Chain A
Amino acid sequence: MHEMSIALDILRIVEKTAHDHEVDSVEDIFLQIGSLAGVMIHSLEFCLEVAKSDTVADHAAIHIDEVAAEGNCPNCHQAYPMNAILEACPQCPEYYLTMHTGDQLKVVEIEIERAA
């Protein structure tokens, strides 16, 4: 359910960026969401769809780059994909992987159109 809060924060960031660049309409929004960031992507997409009405992003297309989580083993120092926040190293089962990517929640860029 916190996806709606996240969606509203995304739109605040987009609206501020649009305002700073003096545009009143955004064509595309590019997001980066880690697979272990604690956000359900289809739920976030639904919330964005609802929340963007009557904003600068009213007709913007949402592009979500889901970043697969990966962590390093503190023992063997190898990197492995992570499917859960708590994931043991496949080689050294007594050690847990430390996530180095996969918790991103980020607005990467937006695309706008200006009359030439």
Chain B
Amino acid sequence: MCDSCGCGQPNGEKATIKKVGGSHKHPHGHDHDHDHLHGHDHDHDHSHGHTHGHTHAVKETISVQTNILELNDRIALENRRLLEAKNIFTLNLMSSPGAGKTTLLERTIREYSGPGEWYVIEGDQQTTLDADRIDDAGATAVQVNTGTGCHLDALLVKQSLEILTPAANSILAIENVGNLVCPALFDLGETARVVIVSTTEGVDKPLKYPTILQGTQLCILNKSDLLPYVDFDADVFKSNALKVNPSLSFLTISATTGDGLDSWFEWLDANRPKKAATTSK
């Protein structure tokens, strides 16, 4: 038995062709194996063992066995190769709307003293508001408006890179569309995935939206300045997140007051491609 789908075909057969049908164009699911001659009229529609006056068609089954995300993953791989060749540290920033991605990026662009220019791909359904803020902060930005789309995919990033043309040894931040569900499935070609959760969200977010944390390296807990005013237990939050992804790292910051930003800058230094760090001296 084939182990990829459990069908009766032997393993390793790419295109299996089998002749199964008769001449009628009809919905599937009622192939009869009683292929006998009927001596009387039926008023229903099924295969006969004799020839009618119209053209016979042969039904073919074409084995495809293709992962639906393969196209996205292939383009993501191209992006990754291109970015790695230029030593570009690429971050895929994901969060719910309003968790503070853009504010964090603005401060980072202004205050991070590490080497390299910043480039930003801003994903939003509408407006260039975020790209304008990033531009004001001093980075080169492109805005991708996804319209009704709820995430960025590898092709949108590839097209953005053609416009953005980031320099070697730079840092590229991809600010995904604010959404904890859809972006999780789409590899963009990033070096690392960073999820930002704010203290005004629930501690059960990791349990409710586990997929977003699964392939993520760093979880930033933002809006720490609001901790005295909200019912948010950071330890419970972290223990929930670790259930989903035991190797997840955490930073607690406030992008508004600047608390904890040093730890974020240290994380950037520590996780940048090593070659970029040496060429920057």
**B244→A85 contact, CB < 8 A:** yes
Given A112-B60, A113-B60, A115-B57, residue A6 in contact with residue B68 (CB < 8 A): yes
Give the tally of cross-chain contacts (CB within 8 A): 107
**A32→B211 contact, CB < 8 A:** no
Given A61-B27, A85-B210, A86-B210, residue A116 in contact with residue B58 (CB < 8 A): yes
Indicate whether A105 reaches chain B with its CB closer than 8 angstroms: yes
In the assembled complex, which residues on chain B have CB atoms less than 8 Å from the CB atom of A28? 28
Q: Produce 1/0 per residue, B61-84, CB < 8 A to A.
A: 111111111111000000000000
Indicate whether B149 reaches chain A with its CB closer than 8 angstroms: yes
In the assembled complex, which residues on chain A have CB atoms less than 8 Å from the CB atom of B190? none
Indicate whether A10 reaches chain B with its CB closer than 8 angstroms: yes
Q: How far is the CA of A85 from the CA of B243 in the complex (A)?
A: 11
Secondary structure at the B interface, as helix, strand, loop or mixed, is mixed
Indicate whether A110 reaches chain B with its CB closer than 8 angstroms: yes
Offer 8 A-B interface pairs, CB within 8 angstroms, sorted by A: A1-B148, A27-B59, A96-B243, A106-B68, A108-B64, A109-B65, A112-B60, A114-B57
Report the 7 A-B pairs with minimum CB-CB distance, sorted nearest first: A2-B182, A1-B150, A113-B57, A116-B56, A105-B68, A85-B210, A107-B64
Beyond A86-B244, A106-B65, A111-B62, 14 extra complex contacts between A and B, CB < 8 Å: A2-B185, A5-B186, A13-B68, A17-B66, A85-B210, A86-B243, A108-B64, A109-B64, A109-B65, A110-B64, A113-B25, A113-B58, A113-B59, A114-B60
Listed in ascending order, the chain A residues whose CB lies under 8 Å from chain B are 1-2, 4-6, 9-10, 12-14, 17, 21, 27-28, 31-32, 38, 61, 65, 84-86, 96, 105-116
